[in-house]
Chain A
Amino acid sequence: MGAHHHGPAKGLSRWLFATNHKDIGTMYLWFSFSMFILGGSFAMVIRAELFQPGMQLVDPLFFNQMTTLHGLIMVFGAIMPSFVGLANWMIPMMIGAPDMALPRMNNWSFWILPPTFLLLASTLFMEGGGPAFGWTFYAPLSTTYAAPSVTFFIFGIHMAGLSSIMGSINIIATVMNMRAPGMTYMKMPMFVWTWLITAFLLVAVMPVLAGAVTMMLMDIHFGTSFFSAAGGGDPVLFQHIFWFFGHPEVYIIILPAFGVVSQIIPAFSRKPLFGYDSMVYATASIALLSFLVWAHHMYTVGMPVAGELFFMYATMLIAVPTGVKVFNWVTTMWRGSMTFETPMLFAIGFLILFTIGGFTGLMLSIAPADFQYHDSYFVVAHFHYVMVAGALFSMTAAVYYWLPKWCGRMYNETMGKTHFWISFISFNVAFFPQHFVGLAGMPRRIPDYALQFADFNMMSSIGAFVYGLSQLLWGYNVISTIVAGKPISDEKVWEGAEGLEWTVATPAPFHTFETPPQVK
């Protein structure tokens, strides 16, 4: 055993028929990066139009298509697949498994994605334009009043959901069955834990989303009235179903990010993660609570006051386990011996900005105050603090942290740090002022605005342009590392890094852990 090594297949078939977790992980990561650039360029169109009051570049309908597709592509095309890619690469290496449990399904779950997003992007060129009803696609704007391309959008959501479900089943099967001898659940790295819980969330809620879009399909083409009061249905029903998916969805995005940060902060503090057990319990409680808070997105739809109170209390409660996590990370840093390489900088950036996003989240949970915040730019600022500075910063940290292990070459540290500082500053220039305009009364999803919002919007646009451009620096740094980075061969790339992934050769060979390691 072990003497006969298969290398990767040659040419295109290596990728088309890939079953190796590292190859599939790589494809996921590149795919999500390309979607990140596409979704980002839509954001640039939005910010360019909002640079000044008045309509300058696009018409209002196209603007709505941009906000819609920006959201859809970033959520379903960039952030989610990027963490699936990371899971593919890292989970087998972290638990001492030779590959994912279901490699062929793994291939399929990836290859569904490119045609899906090609289809979704192609709706822009269809008659009547692409989806223009926001990424939350509230009925009846997305049914009776939508452009014909909505049917393709529904198909796209079905396909993306299918891919996510298969990816999650694979992760659950891998983590439950393929851990190295001795690796009990409570010895698993936090990244594996957070992904295991995320995968259960995905399996639970993606079918709900599929149900919602199927009902839309029926309403549009088959004469049903799920979401139309005229036929005995209820437009608010759509929102209940959507957010029953949608709220766990935001934790699906953020939990793996928590996992990444829980790997990186101890590594660069040279000190074990503080409160491992409580981190696991906090993650599980956040996941459970996520099923009980969906209607906090709907405080203004006219729920009975008992409903408002229930969802308000449940939502406020989430601050407790989230607080535990933040306190644990800070305490991990406390009396460590810290260095500040690029992954650590992004992890600290995450910690600061995610906490700010958490604070505004707590503010938003207060139902009566939300009557003023709801659907304003305050909400836009809030979720960009958790989605961009939360999930994306964490993803960026992960790429810098594990890239040397993946390709056996070191990235350019100066360029990495430059990327961090430009990102950190421009992100805040772009999104902090949005709190102000939101509080002062600027609604979200509008292509033009009143004059008192002009200064902050211009500032926001400038920040967004700089932020967008600086991500190209990241792409350049990664590519030049892969092509011509300084070769390294230490198994342990970072002094303080712990975990099985740092026991294999650098660069990580095509097959790892063909013989399972023994975990003490």
Chain B
Amino acid sequence: MFVKAKRLSALTLSPVLTLMAMLNAGAAKASSVNMPPGVTTVGQTIYGLHMTILWICVIVGLVVFGVMFYSIYHHRKSRGVTASTFHESTKVEIAWTLVPFLILIVVAVPATTTLLDVYDFEDAELDVLITGYQWKWKYEYLDEEGENVQFFSNLRTPQSEIYNTESKGEHYLLEVDEPLVIPVDTKVRFLVTANDVIHAWWVPELAVKKDAIPGFINETWTKANEVGVYRGQCAELCGKDHGFMPIVVNVVSKDEYAEWIGSKQAEAAEIKKLMAQNFSLDELMERGKGVYDRSCAACHGANGEGGLGNAIAKSPIATGPLDGHLEVGINGVPGTAMQAFGGQLNDVDMAAVITYQRNAFGNNMGDLVQPIDVFNHKKG
């Protein structure tokens, strides 16, 4: 009988031991079975809290299930036992009300200090405004150094990988065309908001998850202490392509960051210059296709065939008067999912994509839109 009981306990314990081994292995680096401790002090504290409460649950569970399985094994009718009749004990009841209460207090103390830490937004060295859009993120650098630096970050995984016509890359669904770049060892404050519906900005290894709520600005912060690329996703259901708006954060050295922000500044100045230029049809079509694939294809189809949004091919708008087409592109259609892209695309990109839509997918309007036309339309 002793051997039997031993085998029984080995059997019940073995999955637990396997789990323990898996979890401990996971603690070292990003794991596929456990929360990543991440690269921030707060994240590591949260990880510690998570493991503490997990172990408390495992131990309580082992005791409760241990008693239960002992009882199931020994107190069964087939072993010829007769049932006792006891059915209350105030002492025991008080004990198992108080003991869990005390355990909870032990957990509540570190939980409270961690929470206060997370809510300490003071002394941030860099502010970044994050705006959630259906289905992409926009990053704007708010301090002087990063003035004028703002960009959208779109999913880079091609449709062909998603629809299984090509094999999937290493960072399938977790790659973007332009990642957020922040310096290492710097307290970065994120101001989080949204343009349409609620999104949530989540990067597990930075231990940040904050809802992006249209019309309100939430605060959160991180201070990464290791250079690297960290990936996350939108965590709040935000419509059709909720699963396709990843987040990539490049944490770089302070020098690299200064260099990068400088190049972004120069890029912004370049765009300003481009806005005064005239382009040929070919130039606009080439630029327009890129913009279309990033910003329009999700709703209007890769070949303008439509989907969540109307078809572009042969559409009355894309084959109608230019002014009406510009109006829809720049100001959107209120009350529908068609957003106002005037604030999302610069005038060069807007001119390019409108030109592209009017001359692709069998639409042969032959007309050209120049950045100045977009600028004039915006002015009214």
Asked if residues A316 and B83 are in contact (CB atoms below 8 Å), the reply is no
Give Cα A451–Cα B77 distance, bound, in whole angstroms: 50
Q: Which of B96-104, B122-130, B288-296 contacts A (4 or more CB under 8 A)?
A: B96-104
Within 8 Å of chain A (Cβ to Cβ): is B305?
Answer: no
Nearest CB of chain A from residue B242's CB, rounded to whole Å: 6
The answer to whether the Cβ of A169 comes within 8 Å of any Cβ in the partner chain is no
Residues of the A chain whose Cβ atoms lie less than 8 Å from the Cβ of B24: none
A207: shortest Cβ distance to chain B, in Å?
25
Assembled-state Cα–Cα distance A396/B81 (Å):
28
B355: min CB distance to chain A, Å: 29
Among the listed B64, B65, B115, which residue makes an inter-chain contact with A309, where contact means beta carbons less than 8 Å apart? B115
State whether A368 and B237 are in contact (beta carbons under 8 Å apart), knowing that A309-B115, A337-B75 are contacts in the complex.
Answer: no
Structural contact, B50 and A333, CB atoms closer than 8 A: no
Q: Bound complex: CA of A275 vs CA of B239, how far in Å? A: 48
Q: Is B200 among interface residues, defined by CB-CB distance under 8 A?
A: yes
* A324 B241 Cβ-Cβ under 8 A: no
B243 to A229, Cβ gap below 8 A? no
Chain A 318-374 residues near chain B, CB threshold 8 A: 319-320, 323-324, 326-327, 330-340, 348, 351-352, 355-356, 359-360, 362-363, 366-369, 371-372, 374
Decide if B142 is an interface residue (CB 8 Å cutoff): no
A374 B209 Cβ-Cβ under 8 A: yes
Which residues does chain A contribute within 8 Å of B171, judged by CB atoms? 450
Contact of B76 among A337, A444, A448 (CB under 8 A): A337
Q: Mark B194-206, 1 if CB is under 8 A from A, else 0.
A: 0011101010100
* Residues on A with beta carbons closer than 8 Å to the beta carbon of B164: 54-56
Contacts of B276 in A (CB 8 A): none
Of the listed stretches B27-35, B319-327, B344-352, chain A binds: B27-35
| A138 close to B61 (CB less than 8 A) | no
Q: Find the A residue at minimum CB distance from B246.
A: A450
Q: Residue A235 at the B interface, CB < 8 A?
A: yes
In this complex, the member of A141, A371, A445 whose beta carbon has the largest number of chain B beta carbons within 10 angstroms is A371
Interface residue A446 (Cβ < 8 Å from any Cβ of B): yes
Q: Is B343 an interface residue (CB 8 A)?
A: no
- Check B85–A440 contact: CB distance below 8 A: no
Least CB distance from A382 to B in Å reads: 12
Total number of A-B contacts with CB less than 8 angstroms? 281
Q: Does B170 contact A (CB under 8 A)?
A: yes
Contact (Cβ within 8 A) A337 B77: yes
Q: Min CB distance, A46 to chain B, in Å?
A: 12
Please measure, in the bound complex, the distance between the C-alpha atom of A376 and the C-alpha atom of B209, giving whole angstroms. Answer: 11
Interface pair A140/B197, CB less than 8 Å apart: yes
In chain A, residues 419-470, which have Cβ atoms closer than 8 Å to a Cβ of chain B?
A: 436-437, 439-441, 443-453, 455-456
CB distance from A223 to the nearest CB of B (A): 11
Residue numbers in B under 8 Å from A15 (CB-CB): none
B 36-62 contacts with A by CB, 8 A: 36, 45-46, 49-50, 53-54, 57, 60-61
Chain B residues with a Cβ closer than 8 Å to the other chain, count: 97
The answer to whether B75 and A324 have CB atoms under 8 Å apart is no
Q: B16: CB under 8 A from chain A?
A: no
Residue ID in chain B nearest A231 by CB atoms = B215
| Chain A residues, Cβ within 8 Å of B173 | 53, 448-450
A288 within 8 A of B: no
**Are B61 and A323 touching (Cβ within 8 A)?**
no
**Which residues does chain B contribute within 8 Å of A356, judged by CB atoms?**
61
Q: In the complex, A65→B122 CA distance in Å?
A: 42
A251 within 8 A of B: no
Which residues on A sit within 8 Å (CB–CB) of B115? 305, 308-309, 312, 367-368
A368 touches B46 (CB 8 A): yes
B239→A367 contact, CB < 8 A: no
**Cα-based distance from A309 to B119 in the complex (angstroms):** 11
Given contact pairs A141-B197, A271-B85, A339 touches B93 in the complex (Cβ within 8 A): no
Partner among A60, A141, A348, A452 whose Cβ is within 8 Å of the Cβ of B243:
A60
Asked if A513 is at the interface (CB within 8 A of a chain B CB), the reply is no
B114 at interface (Cβ–Cβ under 8 A)?
Answer: yes
Interface flags for A262-302 (1: CB within 8 Å of B; 0: not) read 00000001111111111000000000000000000000111
Distance in Å from the Cβ of A179 to the closest Cβ of chain B?
Answer: 22
Of B31, B71, B210, which one neighbours A330 at CB under 8 angstroms?
B71
Question: Any chain B CB within 8 A of the CB of A119?
Answer: no
Q: Mark B73-87, 1 if CB is under 8 A from A, else 0.
A: 001111001111111
Interface pair A348/B211, CB less than 8 Å apart = no
Q: Is B185 an interface residue (CB 8 A)?
A: no
A228: CB under 8 A from chain B? yes
Which single residue of chain A is at the shortest CB-CB distance from B169? Answer: A451
| Total contacting residues, chain A, CB less than 8 A | 95
Chain B residues, Cβ within 8 Å of A333: 68, 71-72, 75
> Which residues from chain B contact A363 at a C-beta distance below 8 Å?
50, 53-54, 57
Q: How far is the CB of B70 from chain A (nearest CB, A)?
A: 9
* B57 shortest CB reach to chain A, Å: 4
Query: Smallest CB–CB gap between A345 and chain B, Å?
Result: 11
Q: Is the CB of A234 within 8 A of B237?
A: no
Q: How far is the CB of B39 from chain A (nearest CB, A)?
A: 14
**A438 and chain B: residue at smallest CB distance:** B35
Distance, CA A35 to CA B186, complexed state (A): 54
Q: How far is the CA of A336 from the CA of B93 in the complex (A)?
A: 19
Partner of B61, one of A53, A141, A355: A355
Contact A301 B168 (CB under 8 A): no
Closest-by-CB residue of A relative to B76 is A338
> A residues within 8 A CB of B77?
270, 337-339
Which residues of A sit under 8 angstroms from B241, Cβ to Cβ? 60
Interface string of A371-384 (1 = CB under 8 A from B): 11011100000000
- Cα distance A374–B118 in the bound complex, in angstroms: 15
Q: Which of A53, A272, A366 has the most CB of B within 10 A?
A: A366
Judge if B178 is at the interface, Cβ distance under 8 Å: no
Chain B nearest CB, measured from A208 CB (Å)? 20
B197 touching A145, Cβ below 8 Å: yes
A contact residues around B196 at 8 Å (CB): 140, 145
Q: Write the nearest CB–CB distance from B322 to chain A, whole angstroms.
A: 29
The residue in chain B whose Cβ has the minimal distance to the Cβ of A230 is: B215
Give Cα distance in the complex from A456 to B34, angstroms: 13
- B162 proximity list for chain A (CB < 8 A): 54-55, 448
**B235 partner residues in chain A, CB cutoff 8 A:** 300, 374-376, 443
Q: Is B174 an interface residue (CB 8 A)?
A: yes
**B271: interface (CB < 8 Å):** no
Interface readout for B138-180 with A: 1 if CB under 8 Å, 0 if not?
0000000000000000000000011110001011111000000
* A229 to B97 CA separation, bound complex (whole angstroms): 45
Contact of A452 among B32, B76, B119, B240 (CB under 8 A): B32
- A317 within 8 Å of B (CB atoms): yes
Query: Do A334 and B337 touch (CB < 8 A)?
Result: no
Residues in B neighbouring A449, C-beta threshold 8 A: 173, 243
Out of A145, A275, A436, name the residue touching B32 (CB < 8 Å): A436
Contacts of B308 in A (CB 8 A): 61
B252 within 8 A of A: no
A372→B204 contact, CB < 8 A: yes
In the assembly, what is the distance between CA of A375 and CA of B211, in Å?
11
Assess whether A441 is in contact with B213, with CB atoms less than 8 Å apart.
no
B168 and A446: CB pair below 8 A?
Answer: no
Of the 9-residue stretches B105-113, B253-261, B359-367, B370-378, which lies at the interface with chain A?
B105-113
Chain B neighbourhood of A444, CB < 8 A: 237
| B82 nearest CB across to chain A (Å) | 6
Q: A134-B237, A371-B46, A437-B32 are in contact. List 12 more A-B contacts (CB 8 A).
A: A302-B219, A309-B112, A323-B100, A330-B64, A338-B77, A368-B49, A369-B111, A372-B204, A374-B200, A439-B33, A440-B32, A451-B168
Listed by A's residue number, 13 A-B pairs whose Cβ atoms lie within 8 Å are A54-B162, A64-B237, A132-B240, A141-B197, A302-B211, A312-B108, A313-B108, A320-B100, A337-B76, A369-B46, A440-B31, A446-B233, A450-B172
Chain B residues in the interface with A (C-beta under 8 A): 30-36, 45-46, 49-50, 53-54, 57, 60-61, 64-65, 67-68, 71-72, 75-78, 81-89, 92-93, 96-97, 100-101, 104, 107-108, 111-112, 114-119, 134, 161-164, 168, 170-174, 196-198, 200, 202, 204, 207-211, 213-216, 218-219, 231-244, 308, 335, 337
